[in-house]
């Protein structure tokens, strides 16, 4: 990923938080010499390895997992808030249109974890994470055992120890503070609160470059 210095974010904890908040990623790798991509939800285990480990699953009928041999590198892309930036929002002109966004790229060699017990545990943890905060969360433990046992064989769990992680927070850091504040205000007015908040957050890349 092309990352100019003023858009770079290298703090691993910060990048893990982006993954947690935007956990539906795209994993891309070579399978039989062809690039293959699959969209799946991921869980990030920050305490597993120096850069963390991603855990996920996909349908057994999807041939993508058959290329997860522990040797072939894969790329997982997570997209955070993003949106179009009109040059009319800048105080200083002339200017051109652009796009602001937050993106994290995680690299590693995925390994299949094809064990029914661990697959079931992963599905349970995924549901627990996604259902957190709901008044009556769905729990895998509350479902009929025969029903769950019939579903688990249809998925393949896998994990990817992150060997390299990159973050790009393109949030108008190359503009003057007045321009940045004006853009954030315009985004809020258009309902893009998440992107505006990323621009205003003290943990974003602008505070570190």
Nearest Cα residue to 164 out of 105, 78, 111, 103: 105
- pLDDT, position 204: 43
List per-residue pLDDT tens for the chain, 209 residues long.
999 999 999 999 999 999 999 999 999 999 999 999 999 999 999 999 999 999 999 999 999 999 999 999 999 999 999 999 999 999 988 999 999 999 999 999 999 998 999 999 999 999 999 999 999 999 999 999 999 999 999 999 999 999 999 999 999 999 999 999 999 999 999 999 999 999 987 454 434 43
Alpha carbons 66 and 175: distance in angstroms, whole number = 46
If you write DSSP's letter for every residue of 55-83 in order, what string do you get? EEEEETT-GGGGG-BSSS-EEEEEEEEEE
Alpha carbons 209 and 196: distance in angstroms, whole number = 19
- pLDDT, position 201: 75
Alpha carbons 199 and 174: distance in angstroms, whole number = 12
| Backbone CA torsion sign across 98, 104, 109, 111 | negative
Q: What is the CATH number of the domain that holds 68?
A: 2.30.110.10
Q: Coil, strand, or helix at residue 163?
A: coil
- pLDDT, position 207: 41
| Owning domain of residue 171 | 5-207
Do 81 and 192 meet the contact criterion of CB atoms below 8 Å apart? yes
Do 46 and 16 meet the contact criterion of CB atoms below 8 Å apart? yes
Number of domains in the chain: 1
- pLDDT, position 205: 40
């Amino acid at each position: 990923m092309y990352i100019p210095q003023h858009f770079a974010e290298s703090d691993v904890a910060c990048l893990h938080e982006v993954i947690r908040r935007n956990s539906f990623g795209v994993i891309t790798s070579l399978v039989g010499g062809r690039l293959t991509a699959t969209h799946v939800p991921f869980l990030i285990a920050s305490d597993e390895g120096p850069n963390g480990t991603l855990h996920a699953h996909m349908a057994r009928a999807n041939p993508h997992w058959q290329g997860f041999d522990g040797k072939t590198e894969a790329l997982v892309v997570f997209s955070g808030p993003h949106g179009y930036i009109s040059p009319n929002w800048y105080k200083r002109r002339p200017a051109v249109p652009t796009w602001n966004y937050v993106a994290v790229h995680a690299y590693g060699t995925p390994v299949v974890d094809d064990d029914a017990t661990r697959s079931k545990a992963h599905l349970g943890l995924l549901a627990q994470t996604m259902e957190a905060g709901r008044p009556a969360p769905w729990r895998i433990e509350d479902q009929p055992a025969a029903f769950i046992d019939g579903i688990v064989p249809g998925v393949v769990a896998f994990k990817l120890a992150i060997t390299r992680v990159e973050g790009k927070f393109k949030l108008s850091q190359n503009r003057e503070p007045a321009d940045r504040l004006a853009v954030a205000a315009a985004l809020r007015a258009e309902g893009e609160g998440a992107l505006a908040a990323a621009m205003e957050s003290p943990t974003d890349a602008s505070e570190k470059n």
